[in-house]
Structure 1
């Protein structure tokens, strides 16, 4: 069934989390097997407000409003249906033009289920592009359709105009023009001041293409003390908690072999844990009370998620006390991780569900947390490309 759009008061954050959760089930390395996703996402929001693992290209922050504006020119039509149609016309136009890098619908074409207006709804609101009105995916009803019809023109007066021929043609594809890049940059800077995202949007702070993690970007060194502290907390948390994920996968690998399964050959998690222990040497104890304070300010629910916080604190206490070396054989660490996975997954735990263990793919949430960085870096690159084009023209 095609996605329908309406203006609703439902929680943007909850809808976005659910879409990202569903997406993660198709990405074995991103799964939250130990129930720390709430904290991970709070770090993502702290560093990069409005972003999502589902985002692909920055120009969608303009393409979505253009679709709504175009649909509003046909007030005789159901606006939710018309927006849906226009978005699919855009997908077809971009595919025809060969603008497929980051294209939503690259594989499914116009049959894609989740449209850009759904994926970018939270970002549009966070950056003040939607005029303060919440965009949400929902099954259409009379009241929702009326709200859609009344409010589709509520976009900033300064919004750059859609290219000539839109939506049947999209000049520049998914690349930003100089005007568009400057406009988006100002919107995001204004709405996310004091964050790493805003800092990396400053002229000259373009992230390096080979910076696989946000803390490896050279421009970080010139950020404010507040931003650098946010990022250091995120780095330390990521490094510490990857050990728990690796140990969980080691336990699974042992159980998998013990059960006689041989469909896949798991990675060498003992070696991975040894390399992780070496990285732990770069992590010193930090002000975790301050870290929790900052995260709870982003998501107050973390304050009442006592089991997750207790697990995280217990793990960090142990590995910072020198237990990272030898983690593969540490009975207390192994028990801590196994109990946590069983608590989180219950009957879906691979450690108790033999069917799920048999279907294990060899890696479950074992990558280091980078807080949406691949998607954020792509969006930043798009905007910096446009900004630099401005300089080239001026020159």
Structure 2
């Protein structure tokens, strides 16, 4: 059996797919673009796959423990160490263990994959000379260089920049015994110091995550409350637009599902429930007034130009909400055009492929649409870990 690390491109594709799955839906229309861009702006380095903050220390400690190994041997050793760590954390009663569900098998998405980008963005993993993120294989090679020849005083004969910044000492139980995901006070202070320096979009402005970390308080009860807005600084207006975009995307996803039910019923001549059409009424009641306020031009100022078909969906959906029609049928063409990027996987398409994809779709099993969350659940857990160390 061969061993390899995924390329940066493959990891990016996997991350996008897992972002979609974490939200309970396939991203048929493209709303995930808004989700990812605002989440990256507000909370740099975060991922929907993050569980607990202490993994940001566990991963570099594991790499440093394996200094001297490279290539397939390093990959195998790291995989085994991560598998063992999952078992120890499970034995300690932890519930947010990466790889815990498949233990004693190794995880297909171990901590070193899940947190690698975070380590780079948060300034714990040093960048390459050209500013790009070093790969895990490169980190192993750099760590092996630490054991190069030394002079009589023990100093390296070749200048060496390790892949990680100076780390805290491991806890006494690092190599054996009871270990948990709760951080020590010094560990929380170390990570908070790094998060507190995070800038947004490569600018000089502090990110919202940095501002929240600097409060040293527990996570606010919600992303849209007064506590977050009070510390958002120059991001206050963008935060308000992000809420409007989240609501508009929630309505849009409900519209897509309602249109799909309608095509199955009227086009395919199959009986189907009105579950998603009923939900559309409820989500408009809850989110319609907020969604209708979104300024799409200002949104693009926040997060960059949107794909033209996604922008068309946003503007058409806003106009439809304002019309108070309640019947999404006039939106079919613009939604079908946006979904066409899926090619033969598009379900709204009035083609043989589209009909086949609809046969695979179950209205009763498909999750009900909701607004975008921008990884707030993961950010909340991160802030809680920082605020409540041992």
20 and 146 in structure 1: CA distance in 2 versus 1, 3 angstrom threshold: closer
1:156 offset after TM fit, Å? 1.6
TM-score norm. by structure 2 comes to 0.80
Query: Is residue 355 of structure 1 aligned with residue 356 of structure 2?
Result: yes
Q: Which residues in structure 2 correspond to 1:186-205 (within 5 Å)? A: 186-192=193-199, 194-203=206-215, 205=217
Q: RMSD across aligned C-alpha pairs, in angstroms? A: 3.1
CA contact (8 A) 1:104 1:115 kept: yes
204 and 83 in structure 1: CA distance in 2 versus 1, 3 angstrom threshold: closer
Aligned to 1:177: 184
d(CA) in 2 for partners of 1:76 and 1:237? 45
Tell me the SS of whatever aligns to 2:242: helix
d(CA) in 1 for partners of 2:248 and 2:122? 32
CA contact (8 A) 1:57 1:382 kept: yes
Aligned to 2:163: 154
Q: Summarize deviations over 1:195-246 as a string: whole Å, max 9, x none.
A: 221222233542245x3xx113x41231244221121111111112222211
TM-score norm. by structure 1 comes to 0.79
Tell me the SS of whatever aligns to 1:247: helix
Aligned pair count reads: 359
Tell me the SS of whatever aligns to 1:215: coil
Tell me the SS of whatever aligns to 2:24: helix
Query: Is residue 308 of structure 1 aligned with residue 313 of structure 2?
Result: no
d(CA) in 1 for partners of 2:71 and 2:25? 44
d(CA) in 2 for partners of 1:19 and 1:336? 28
Aligned to 2:259: 251
User: Mind listing any 5+ residue stretches in structure 2 that lack a counterpart?
Assistant: 147-160, 200-204
1:176 offset after TM fit, Å? 0.9
Aligned to 1:299: none
Aligned to 1:367: 370
User: Mind listing any 5+ residue stretches in structure 1 that lack a counterpart?
Assistant: 297-301, 390-395
Relative contact order, higher structure (CA 8 A, sep 6+): 1
Choose which of 218, 227, 230 in structure 2 pairs with 1:222. 230
CA contact (8 A) 1:67 1:83 kept: yes
Q: Which has the higher helix share?
A: 1
Aligned to 1:116: 111
Aligned to 1:339: 337
Query: Is residue 276 of structure 1 aligned with residue 274 of structure 2?
Result: no
1:113 offset after TM fit, Å? 1.4
d(CA) in 2 for partners of 1:145 and 1:278? 51
Aligned to 1:393: none
CA contact (8 A) 2:312 2:334 kept: no
Query: Is residue 43 of structure 1 aligned with residue 44 of structure 2?
Result: no
